[in-house]
Structure 1
Amino acid sequence: MNKRLLAATGIAFLATGSAVAQSSGNWTGFYGGLQVGYADIDTNVSGIDGDGAIGGIILGYDYDLGDWVVGGGFDYDWTDVDLGGAATVEDVWRIKARAGYKVTSVGLLYGIGGYAEAGTDNLSSDNGWFIGAGYEHIVAPNVSIGGEILYHEFNDFNSSGVDVDATTFQARAAYRF
């Protein structure tokens, strides 16, 4: 009986130690997850704007440098934002670079930027850029949650003469490998 108790105690200690190590703020590794939020899209044409829900998948890799974390990622969002009957934005995908500072061992405040492409129902798609900021927090071993706000710009969308800008705010949840 003592051997079983000792073994159970050892296993519990190792599991707790592993959980503490994983949630103590080592951000190095791959992650994948989901995001959901809100998009506000404006154009330089009067009456051609819209807003609505947006959400999709996130994938990426981070590298922990001590107090700083750098990383890259990809995300894809589905949406159905009607732009005043002229077009409907159907999806947005992004290639991201981010750099952040650990405000606590499990909290990361970061800046982000990169390449974006938006697709519509009748104007095809076009590429642009985005910049933004976010906060991510490790809440359990291998699990983080956060929020991100991004400003996007698509100049002369698909050679139409229409400039498009969009602001998105999304809540994110990721599993870290």
Structure 2
Amino acid sequence: MKRTIAALIGSAFLAAPALAGGPVTPVAEPPLEAPPVVTPAASGDWGGAYVGGQLGYADVGSKGNAVTGDGVLGGVQAGYRWDLGSTVLGVEADVSAADASFDGGAGKLDSLARVKLQAGYDMGRTLVYATGGAAYAKADVGGASLSDTGYFGGLGADYALNDRWTVGGEVLMHKFDNFDKSGIDADATTAAVKVNFRF
């Protein structure tokens, strides 16, 4: 009997560690996930001064079609832009000689000069912008040399070929009320291709 009790007590002591801890199953830790990659918005460097040239087309009309015509124009421009991140603000001045003849030999548009304000969106190598400001035109109408100041608005875009050169285009709508007190309300639509060198 004593041997049986001793055997049972010995078995209990031997089994105690197994019962206390039991087999340990390792817990697999979840794999570490890489943080999401944030792609920065495309952005170019559009700040600084520039000069360039342009070549385009002018379509001239007036209220009641008293004067209509079309032709080419070409000239030079200079400006400065401030790159504020996705927003680009700028100023520009241009002057163009024109050869836009009016129908019926009524004369022609001789020149067009503008002072522009620009507000654009930086898309990286492309800049799209709205522009507007004051325009000054000279014209020969019925043998008289006339000139007047008006206003304009339109849209443009530039593409950066590299750090220095850009190409682009603009379409602008011009209004001249009572052109040089002639009683003619004139308008002109211009479309031009532009090349600029940036400093």
Among 67, 77, 81, the alignment partner of 1:62 is: 81
Structure 2 counterparts to residues 10-25 of structure 1, below 5 A = 25=44
> What displacement does 1:140 show?
1.6
Query: What is the match of residue 90 of structure 1?
Result: 110
Matched, 1:52 2:74: no
Higher share of residues assigned strand:
1
Based on CA coordinates, which of the two structures has the bigger radius of gyration?
2
Query: What is the match of residue 178 of structure 2?
Result: 156
- AA at the equivalent of 2:110: E
3-state SS of the aligned residue for 1:158? helix
Distance in structure 1 (CA, Å) of the matches to 2:107 and 2:183: 14
Distance in structure 2 (CA, Å) of the matches to 1:101 and 1:149: 17
Query: What is the match of residue 130 of structure 1?
Result: 152
> What displacement does 1:124 show?
1.8
* Consecutive aligned runs of 4 or more in structure 1 exceeding 6 Å deviation: none
3-state SS of the aligned residue for 1:173? strand
Matched, 1:172 2:191: no
> What displacement does 1:47 show?
5.3
Structure 2 regions of 5+ residues with no counterpart? Answer: 1-42
Structure 1 regions of 5+ residues with no counterpart? Answer: 1-23
Contact 1:123 1:158 in 2 (8 A): no
> What displacement does 1:141 show?
2.1
Matched, 1:73 2:79: no
Greater RCO, CA 8 A, separation 6+: 1
TM-score (norm 1): 0.83
CA RMSD in angstroms comes to: 1.2
- AA at the equivalent of 1:88: K
**Number of aligned residues:** 153
TM-score (norm 2): 0.74
